[in-house]
Structures are given as structure tokens and as C-alpha cells.
């Protein structure tokens, strides 16, 4: 099965609203590998590898996020997977 690596940059009110923990839960449910982390500029970065259909589902979820989030934009950069991840985790 074809795998891809997607890097998502989520803009808006996405820090301090359980965005990373919720993203981790969603990515694990979809069987994706990778990580999410807060960036100093207020965005959240998500790097995920897996089947494009599952990545698309994660992208659609990221547009909404948890209840307290207010997502204004999601940038997507697609690349070749590195297969360096084992599971999905929050980076601090």
C-alpha cells in the first residue's frame, strides 16, 4: 500500500486548547505514525505518515480540532515517507 508523509501547519487558536492531545488520539485511531508539537509562533505542527486516505481524514479533522480550537488555516506539505516513526506522539 502506498504511504506518504504530510506536514501540516495549523494556524489560529490552537495552543492551550488540548489540540496536540486530541490530534495524537485522532492520529492513533487512524493508524498513522508521526508527531505533533507546538511552535513558538503559536501554530501547531503535525508530521504524519500513512496511507493517503487516513492522512486526508486527519487533515479534515485538523480543520476543526477540539471544541475550544479556532482553526483559521492549515498548510499542507506532502513528501516521501521516511518510516522513522513508531506510533504517534506529542513532542514537547
Per-residue pLDDT of the chain (92 residues; tens, 9 = 90+): 799 999 999 999 999 999 999 999 999 999 999 999 999 999 999 999 999 999 999 999 999 999 999 999 999 999 999 999 999 999 99
pLDDT of residue 80: 95
pTM: 0.96
Chain length of the chain: 92
**Integer Rg of the chain from CA:** 12
CB atoms within 10 A of CB 74: 19
Please enumerate in sequence order all residues whose Cβ is within 8 A of that of 54, keeping only pairs 6 or more positions apart, or say none: 30, 31, 32
How far apart, in whole angstroms, are the C-alpha atoms of residue 50 and residue 3?
5
Active-site residues, by number, are 20, 38
Domain residue limits, the chain: 4-81
CATH 3.40.50.1580 fits 4-81, yes or no: no
User: Contact at 8 Å (CB) between 47 and 39?
Assistant: no
pLDDT of residue 1: 77
Amino acid at each position: 500500500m502506498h504511504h506518504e508523509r504530510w506536514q501540516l501547519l495549523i494556524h489560529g487558536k490552537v495552543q492551550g486548547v488540548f489540540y496536540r492531545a486530541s490530534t495524537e488520539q485522532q492520529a492513533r485511531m487512524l493508524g498513522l505514525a508521526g508527531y505533533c508539537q507546538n511552535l513558538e509562533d503559536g501554530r501547531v505542527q503535525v508530521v504524519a505518515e500513512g496511507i493517503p486516505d487516513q492522512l486526508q481524514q486527519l487533515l479534515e479533522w485538523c480543520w476543526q480540532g477540539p471544541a475550544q480550537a479556532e482553526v483559521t488555516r492549515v498548510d499542507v506539505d506532502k513528501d516521501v515517507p521516511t518510516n522513522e516513526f513508531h506510533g504517534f506522539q506529542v513532542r514537547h
